Amino acid sequence: MTRLDRVEQTRGRFTGPPLTPRTAVIWSVLRAELERRGGTELTVLDVGGGTGGFAVPLAQAGHHVTVVDASPDALAALTRRAAEAGVADRVRAVQGDGDALAGLVEPAGVDLVLCHAVLEVVDDPVSVVTALATALRPGGAASVLVAGRAAAVLARAMNGHLDVADTLATDPAGTAGARDTLRRRYDVDGASALLRAAGLVVEEIHGVRVLADLLPAAVADGQPGALVELERALAGRPPYRDLAAQLHLFARRPA
């Protein structure tokens, strides 16, 4: 039985949102942390948290969540979503740039920090990760989701764009240049090194969307439960993990 299987069996105390290939593995890891903290109310910081896909369920579970995001539209949607869910008092929306995070949050005041799909677009990921680590209390945890380079190389090649695949594979940052929507992509070693350099200890690494983006829509839509289960089964197992569209790293600031 894998760690994720054990966590799923304890699901009763925190029912998050419906699980999808994009979220199932991340919620399993987060749920394990919430269980580990024994039901205490946590202070959560979600950097680039957007419309609150993680923030609102965490607030519904009783935690206090601050979302820092650059987009006023996303924050407006977050505020509406939190109000509709009845947790407006536990969700704080802060417009701000992740690159200036150090000036927006108190040091050592956060139990859990989320930074999902953000490090690939900010100016300076090193300073953002340093600020995340600084925001954490000793013993606090970071949930970091980054774009995977290998999946992007394979996807471009399978679509016939061999030149772009070659550029993505060889560019130091894993970007295809000025027209690429992402400024960088990661492999497991690079993402781990980034977190370690900020003083965090990487505890778990999973692949998110190992298969989901590769399947015909008819298969993904026709067998959603089976797909989520297979994603969960492969998420922690190299080489499948390392080929995922996104890499999820769970790290901790030493106590």
Ligand X SMILES: C[S@@+](CC[C@H](N)C(=O)[O-])C[C@H]1O[C@@H](n2cnc3c(N)ncnc32)[C@H](O)[C@@H]1O
Q: Which residues bind ligand X (CB under 6 A)?
A: 48-50, 53, 69-71, 74, 97-99, 116-118, 121-122
Least separation in angstroms between CB 152 and ligand X? 15
Least separation in angstroms between CB 6 and ligand X? 25
CB nearer ligand X, residue 117 or residue 214: 117
Least separation in angstroms between CB 29 and ligand X? 14
CB nearer ligand X, residue 17 or residue 239: 17
Least separation in angstroms between CB 122 and ligand X? 5
Least separation in angstroms between CB 58 and ligand X? 12
CB nearer ligand X, residue 79 or residue 166: 79
Least separation in angstroms between CB 51 and ligand X? 7
How far is 69 from 67, CA to CA, in rounded Å? 6
CB nearer ligand X, residue 53 or residue 224: 53
Per-residue H/E/C for the chain:
CCHHHHHHHCHHHCCCCCCCCCCHHHHHHHHHHHHHCCCCCCEEEEECCCCCCCHHHHHHCCCEEEEEECCHHHHHHHHHHHHHCCCHHHEEEEECCHHHHHHCCCCCCEEEEEEECCCCCCCCHHHHHHHHHHHEEEEEEEEEEEEEHHHHHHHHHHCCCHHHHHHHHHCCCCCCCCCCCCCCCECHHHHHHHHHHCCCEEEEEEEECCCCCCCCHHHHHHCHHHHHHHHHHHCCCCCCHHHCCEEEEEEECCC
CB nearer ligand X, residue 5 or residue 84: 84
CB nearer ligand X, residue 91 or residue 238: 91
